[in-house]
Amino acid sequence: MTGAREEILTRLRTALGREDGTTTRTGVVPSTGKPVDIDAEVPRAYLREGSLARPAVIEQLVDRLVDYKAWVTQVPAADVPRVVAQRLEQADSVVIPPGLEADVVSQLPEPVRITVDAAEAQDGAVAKAEVESEAADRFASAAHRIHTIDELDATSAVITASRVSVAQTGTIMLDGDTDCGRRMITLVPDHHVCLVPESTVVEIVPEAVARIDLTRPVTMISGPSATSDIELQRVEGVHGPRQLDVIIITDR
Amino acid sequence: MRIALFATCIVDAMYPEVARDTVTILERLGHEVVFPERQACCGQMHVNSGDFAGAVPVVEGHVRAFEDGPDWDVICAPSGSCAASAGHQQPMIARRAGDDDLANRAEDLAGRTYELSQLLTDVLGITDAGEQLGSYFPHAVTYHPSCHGMRILRLGDRQRDLLSTVQDIDLRELPQADQCCGFGGTFSMKNAEVSTAMLEDKAENVVSTGASLCTGGDASCLMHIGGGLSRTGARSPRGEVGTVHLARILASTREKPLLPPRSEPLLSGGSLR
Amino acid sequence: MTTFLGMPSVLRADGAEVADGLPGAQGNVFEREPFPQYASRELEDEQLRRNLGHATKTIREKRLGAVAELPDWEDLRDSGAAIKQRVMAELPDLLEQFADAFEARGGHVHWARDAEEANSIVRDLIEENAPILGNGRREVVKVKSMATQEIGLNEYLEPHGIDAFETDLAELIVQLGDDLPSHILVPAIHKNRSEIRDIFLEGIPGVDPGLTDEPAKLAEAARQHLRHKFLTTKVAVSGANFGIASTGTLGVVESEGNGRMCLTLPETLITVMGVEKLLPQPEDLEVFLQLLPRSSTAERMNPYTSFWTGATAGDGPQNVHVVLMDNGRSRALADEWGRSALNCIRCSACMNVCPVYERTGGHAYGSTYPGPIGAILSPLMTGVQAEENNSLPYASSLCGACFDACPVKIDIPSILVHLRGEDVSTTQEGESATERVRDATSSSGQLSAGLAAASWAMADGRRIALAERALPIAAALTRLTGGISRLPGVVGKWTSSRDIPALPDQSFRNWWRKTRGTDADAIAAQQEAGAGAGAGAGAGAGAGAGAGDDHGSQNEGDAR
């Protein structure tokens, strides 16, 4: 194995004319024949911060998500449990990550079976849940277990938080933390309800890249699964969740 | 201003009237035109065919012709492709041959070389061809923007804007105008079938406009489009569809109008002459 | 070292060596026959041309809209190009950095010099980790990957008892139809919806026989077909869109969720990545996550993008491998004029805007990499002399649409021209004088003979002036026929579908001299040029026809 590694690195150094450490074959601009300046600073004149006012940023996120055929609503935090319950009225079962705020599921109708994707109840979540007794009951009574793939396949829906969202591209980023869940729980169930606090919404991609740790297992989601493979026309709904509901939690 | 005409080899040999009309336009604006007689070709044919060794003497000849000839302020070419080659191929060929001096001289010349519409618009301040050049052409025309003018020289709407201000012209939008006509120099022979497929679509789009003429800024592309239109016997409501260089339309006036093809002798090979 | 693995993929290893001793690529990176031959057959397929025309026109227009939305698009392109240029200049260091970081996070790094080595590494890993099923074979699920297509992995694995299931919809269409990919983003672009329905009806066991050609229904059929495979398969194979050197992070950009399935559910994940796919640091993704989706599917963002860094405890595959592959990339890097072809992020914008690709489709390019980028990348990876790859640099009218569309500003037209130069100089070096004479009867021979004569004549306008004195005779001839319709030899390639205009009576040059120049100038010039005329083709004819200028007066008045 070391043989291949060394040989490839040697080949690349040869290609660059770097036998003695400095690059002698710097490359040529193909239209002019002038040598490439490999020491030149990488220009970064592109926008790194958005310019829209906050309401316009949120409006743009909504617009983009709707364009991707996601279902979107904006509600104050107090209304989240009600909206979640509405959206999951038809669900048999819902899986949630252990770090999700407990009251999110507090109004889910009784027949909906809730399970938490964790080996055991986590202190933080339960503590938060104690704020409201109703929510605490629902959360505490939920079964805690690491779900198998088959269990997730038999689960109707998943509810998670999110880390940061990009208005301009309609992109929601999950980072595998305890409120976003393991990657597979947002993948296998066919319906994903995702909570996006207004404060986590940025306007453009560079602002989001600066706020997310890419060494975590990051998943970026822009609408429900889709394909352009048939005549290059976009069709929603292939292997990933076919329904994406986004609940934007307003600051007010 | 003293303007050196870079006629280009194809215009010199096959479409001399395009160069004569270029002279007419520039002189009409009160400028002096000179023609460095040792000029021949930009070298593009050799470069694009991969014959870099053969291109070197051609590039050298071009540079010398304009350096040694009469004094001039700017160079004007009635071709986007050849003007582009001067700037984007000649220095490269010289550097490849290890001749940095020639490369720098070619670059210097290229910096003062303008395609016709570029010169008229950017240097001579023409914004209204009818008003300022007296251009008059009461015919249905569609316009094909050639690739090198569009993508290498970044001519943008210069040619189109000049045409649209010609008096009484009926300028028709060409569908898929930015698509290559399929000429590509020796591409049209090395990949003749693909080139023809591209040409067919271009000709179809030209005919769909109902215009009797397709114009543009490059004689080579027009020769290709015209050759295809002629072969297919393409017709508009006014008869056969031909091609005409932009310079010819701009040179045409009420007093000395360029006549559209009325009968066979005026039209041959699909090209208005 | 040539390994035959049956059609459609034959692993070929006959790329010539470059001077530096860097071996050319193996695998599916060769023309099968010269481009013009293959192309002319494809052009006769009316259905293919309609499908391609429809699809490329759709995506071209969509891309323009997606790009126009960003006011800083050109700045992003500048940065993208500069970042990639930096990557190529620092590739050995960045690779080591990547490998160390990936290993530090529990991943396993393998190095493959060529396609054969990459294939055998992947096979060994599959044999170690995938169980033998009831049918006596092993199974893996795959995310669409150019790298594994390049090395012919599926075809290599098959006789070794391993079935590789493509899970991208278009790859599935190609695999079920026993076809070859023709586009790097939409491998089945050459098929329309009703052809796809027929392939599904034939190839998917238990599919609803009433399946319609509605794209949503076709997508649903693919979901049902692959669902069980995703949920049960233990090993997945992927490519990677990006590898981040400083962190050891890998990323896959996709739409359908098949990527997420493969990257998340199996126990073992094997990623095959070309060494050039690196970016220095996570921050660079802020550029490429904007450039790639808009250039590729013309979306603001693709539905799903996944990143992983080694293995994450409790989340996703715990046995994570990456195969860093050279396979001709070091050779492309060594070409200082063509090096920037390695900047390619496989978006496919160049083929969507290419008028040649639009008409011939991807199969005519032979290689896994079709279209304008393929026409430079394949010969750069194999050496332009290899097999038929020297026909690829000529498969372009040099219209420049690809360069404009390229998100990382690869000057494809200039590199095509560079490779034509490599081809010509190599051919000339290797050819004896007698071969060249014999060659003059062929089309290409006639072209090069013509170019040689033209180089002499065009080096000096005075030689041209003499040659052009033949014009009146030629003009008289063409006037008789009303334009030139059919000529033999290489020029016949032109006249097969286009007329040549009737020639003028006199050239501009000679008109100028007559009307504007002084006689003294003219005589002097004629004498000077005439002295060397014997050496050049065309000049002799010109000298003999000097008197024809009289016709000029007729032409001068022309339509005025």
* Token representation of residue C397: 């009218």
C456 to B57: CB separation less than 8 angstroms, yes or no: yes
Mean per-residue pLDDT for A197-213? 98
Class of domain C74-334: alpha beta
Q: Which residues of B touch A31 (CB under 8 A)?
A: 88, 92
A33 to B88: CB separation less than 8 angstroms, yes or no: no
A31 to B95: CB separation less than 8 angstroms, yes or no: no
**Which of B93, B95, B108, B148 would you mutate first to test chain A, the one with the most A CBs within 10 A?**
B95
A30 to C337: CB separation less than 8 angstroms, yes or no: yes
B103–chain A Cβ distance below 8 A for any pair: yes
Q: Which residues of B touch C469 (CB under 8 A)?
A: none
pLDDT, tens only, C414-458: 999 999 999 998 887 766 555 555 555 566 677 777 888 888 888
Q: What are phi and psi of B220, to 5 degrees?
A: -65, -45
B97–chain A Cβ distance below 8 A for any pair: no
CA distance C390 to C422: 9
Instruction: For each of the domains in chain A, give its residue range(s) and CATH number, in order of start.
Output: 54-225+239-250 (3.40.50.10420)
CA distance A154 to A242: 15
Contacting C residues, span 181-240, partner chain A, CB-CB under 8 Å: 186, 188-189, 192-193, 196, 215-216, 218-220, 222-223, 226-227, 230-231
Distance from CA of A108 to the nearest CA of C (A): 27
What pLDDT shows up at residue C526? 54
Mean per-residue pLDDT for C356-378? 96
Q: Which residues of A touch B91 (CB under 8 A)?
A: 32-33
CA distance B170 to B213: 10
Distance from CA of B32 to the nearest CA of A (A): 32
Chains B, C: CB contacts under 8 A, how many?
254
Q: Which residues of C touch A225 (CB under 8 A)?
A: 255-257, 303-304
**C144 band by pLDDT with thresholds 50, 70 and 90:** confident
pLDDT, tens only, C495-511: 888 888 888 889 999 99
pLDDT, tens only, C520-540: 455 555 555 544 443 333 333
CA-nearest residue to B59 within chain C is C459
B96 to A34: CB separation less than 8 angstroms, yes or no: no
What pLDDT shows up at residue C479? 66
CA distance C203 to C226: 13
| pLDDT at residue C330 greater than cutoff 50 | yes
* Token representation of residue B209: 């406009």
What pLDDT shows up at residue A120? 78
Contacting B residues, span 168-187, partner chain A, CB-CB under 8 Å: none
Apex CA B249: angle with CA B243 and CA B254, to 5°? Answer: 135
Is C282 in contact with A250 (CB distance < 8 Å)? no
ipTM of the complex: 0.94
DSSP secondary structure letter of residue B131: I
Distance from CA of A14 to the nearest CA of B (A): 22
Q: Which residue has the tokens 């079920």?
A: C176
What pLDDT shows up at residue B260? 66
Is A232 in contact with C186 (CB distance < 8 Å)? yes
Q: Which residues contact B260 (CB under 8 A, 6 or more apart)?
A: B139, B212, B213, B238, B272
* Token representation of residue C32: 């099968």
pLDDT, tens only, A77-101: 999 999 999 999 999 999 999 999 9
Residue C347's nearest CA partner among C141, C66, C48, C95 is C66
Apex CA C433: angle with CA C431 and CA C437, to 5°? Answer: 100
Chains A, B: CB contacts under 8 A, how many?
15
CA distance B48 to B42: 11
Name residue C537's amino acid.
Answer: A
Q: Global pTM?
A: 0.91
What pLDDT shows up at residue C529? 54
A42 to C79: CB separation less than 8 angstroms, yes or no: yes
**C480 band by pLDDT with thresholds 50, 70 and 90:** low
B268 to C501: CB separation less than 8 angstroms, yes or no: yes
Residue spans of the domains in chain C: they are: 74-334, 436-496
DSSP secondary structure letter of residue B123: I
The bridge status of strand A191-197 relative to strand A243-250 is parallel
pLDDT, tens only, B188-203: 999 999 999 999 999 9
Instruction: For each of the domains in chain B, give its residue range(s) and CATH number, in order of start.
Output: 2-121 (no CATH), 128-251 (3.40.50.11810)
pLDDT, tens only, C343-355: 999 999 999 999 9
Q: Quote the percentage of chain B above a pLDDT of 70.
A: 95
Q: Which residues of A touch B96 (CB under 8 A)?
A: 33
Distance from CA of C206 to the nearest CA of A (A): 18
Torsion of CA C551, B242, B15, B8, to 10 degrees: 180
What pLDDT shows up at residue C440? 55
| Mean per-residue pLDDT over chain A, rounded | 91
Q: Which residues of A touch B88 (CB under 8 A)?
A: 31-32
Contacting C residues, span 430-449, partner chain A, CB-CB under 8 Å: none
pLDDT, tens only, C94-124: 999 999 999 999 999 999 999 999 999 999 9
Torsion of CA A76, A78, A83, A88, to 10 degrees: 140
Q: Which residues of C touch A167 (CB under 8 A)?
A: none
Distance from CA of C358 to the nearest CA of B (A): 9
CA distance A175 to A161: 10
**Which of B48, B88, B89, B92 would you mutate first to test chain A, the one with the most A CBs within 10 A?**
B92
Q: Which residues of C touch A164 (CB under 8 A)?
A: none
| Mean per-residue pLDDT over chain C, rounded | 86
The bridge status of strand A113-116 relative to strand A93-96 is parallel
Beta strands in C119-259 (DSSP E): 138-142, 162-166, 235-238, 242-244, 249-254
| pLDDT at residue B266 greater than cutoff 80 | no
A31 to B92: CB separation less than 8 angstroms, yes or no: yes
Handedness of CA C308, C313, C318, C324 (dihedral sign): positive
What pLDDT shows up at residue C357? 97
Q: Among A84-98, A236-250, C4-18, C256-270, whose mean pLDDT is lowest?
A: C4-18
Apex CA B173: angle with CA B167 and CA B176, to 5°? Answer: 150
pLDDT, tens only, C38-94: 999 999 999 999 999 999 999 999 999 999 999 999 999 999 999 999 999 999 999
| pLDDT at residue C384 greater than cutoff 60 | yes
What pLDDT shows up at residue C106? 97
| Cis preceding linkage at C8, omega within 30 | yes
**C18 band by pLDDT with thresholds 50, 70 and 90:** low
B51 to C471: CB separation less than 8 angstroms, yes or no: no
A32 to B96: CB separation less than 8 angstroms, yes or no: no
